[in-house]
Amino acid sequence: MDANSKLIYSFFRIHRGDQIASEDLRNLRLFYTSFLGANAVLLYEFLHDLIFNKDKYDSTFTYETLSLYLNISIDELNTCRQKLESVSLIETHNDSKESRTVFVLFKPLSSVQMVKNAFIPRLIKNNIGEVNYDRIVNLTNTSTFKNSDSLENISAAFHEMFSLQTEVKSKVTELLVQAGATIKENNSKVWDSSKSYQTQLEMGVIKNSNHYKATKELTCEEFYCQLTNTFILEDSVKEKISKLNSILNLSKITNLAMLYIYLENDKFDFRKTTKLLNEVKKYNYVIDEDTTEKYLHGKYRNDIQLVDAFLKMHSLMNEQ
């Protein structure tokens, strides 16, 4: 049993990271049961019931007692929790200030999101077959947690709980597993941007050779100059950048959105960046910078059409 499987606090608190509806619980049962197992699904639903119609829930019983309520061993409870963590259904944090474990519940993927996901459908098909997977998709095919300095994210990662062993793996799947495991190989095919950064540094434009780190350190105008290798900004461009940043009024998130659009298209695009930021605003994903950044990473990671941009971002995030 690994270190993350044991929790250091006896009592726990539950938050909702998303609004979870009955349709989401249906998607949970239909899509996730085949590879998570019934007990993991039961654990999720039990935690959801505890926080139902509440902003948060503080347990009056210990985590160990939870295993009695579910009629499973404590080891099985820990395994179920880690399975849920590994597919981003819950996050587990240690709150040193409150001396509690904090569980944050996130809603399952919808059928539309599921078919775009790069790896979960493979797990389902490996367990129940492609025909049965298609049946489940057709069945469902219809047309407020805040982080703090006292919380340490100790959630299990996808690659720690599941293996996608097949004779032939798609390039996307290989890269996802590699990214999830944070493996860095000298001959890795994951995008390596160090050469282009070095060239730009020699031109004296860039303040930070790592674009991801620069999103947190530069103003929006400075970051645009770095991203586009521009020396002088025209007033019309300054106005466009100002309008971009006014959407959320979070300069770091504006920079991150600009970077994702740049990585996705190999060039910067004001229109697409505006659309991305408006999407974040429309669906109320703005809680704070950390939560909003997590949403953007999740959006690009879980969409097979956008995952290449996420892998490039992941490479930047893990540069030393």
For the chain, domain boundaries: 11-112, 211-318
Tokens of 278: 């408006």
C-alpha distance from residue 126 to each of 138, 146, 163, 308 (Å): 18, 36, 11, 24
List the structure tokens of 266. 């190999």
Q: How far apart are CA 129 and CA 122, in angstroms?
A: 9
CA 53 – CA 35 distance, rounded (Å): 29
**Cα angle, residue 265 at apex, residues 259 and 271 outer, rounded to 5°:** 75
Task: Judge whether residue 214 has pLDDT over 50.
Answer: yes
Q: Which of 111-120, 220-229, 256-265, 302-311 has the highest mean pLDDT?
A: 256-265
| Closest alpha carbon to 285 in 243, 309, 277, 85 | 277
Residue closest to 264 by CA, chosen among 304, 209, 206, 217: 304
Question: What is the rounded CA–CA span in Å between residue 246 and residue 255?
Answer: 12
103: phi then psi, degrees, rounded to nearest 5: -105, 130
Whether residue 172 contacts residue 118, with contact meaning beta carbons closer than 8 Å, is answered with yes
Report whether 256 contacts 296 (CB < 8 A). Answer: yes
| Cα separations in angstroms, 2 against 33, 156, 165, 293 | 24, 10, 22, 28
Give the model's confidence band at 198: pLDDT under 50 very low, under 70 low, under 90 confident, else very high. very low
Indicate the pTM of the whole model. Answer: 0.48
CATH T-level assignment (fold) for domain 11-112: Arc Repressor Mutant, subunit A (1.10.10)
Predicted confidence at residue 219, as pLDDT, reads 92
Q: Which of 100-109, 121-130, 267-276 has the lowest mean pLDDT?
A: 121-130
Contact 219, 241 (CB under 8 A): no
Cβ(289)–Cβ(167) under 8 Å?
no
How many residues are present in the chain?
A: 320
pLDDT for 150-179, tens place per residue? 677 777 766 566 655 443 344 444 444 444
* Max Cα–Cα distance, the chain, nearest Å: 67
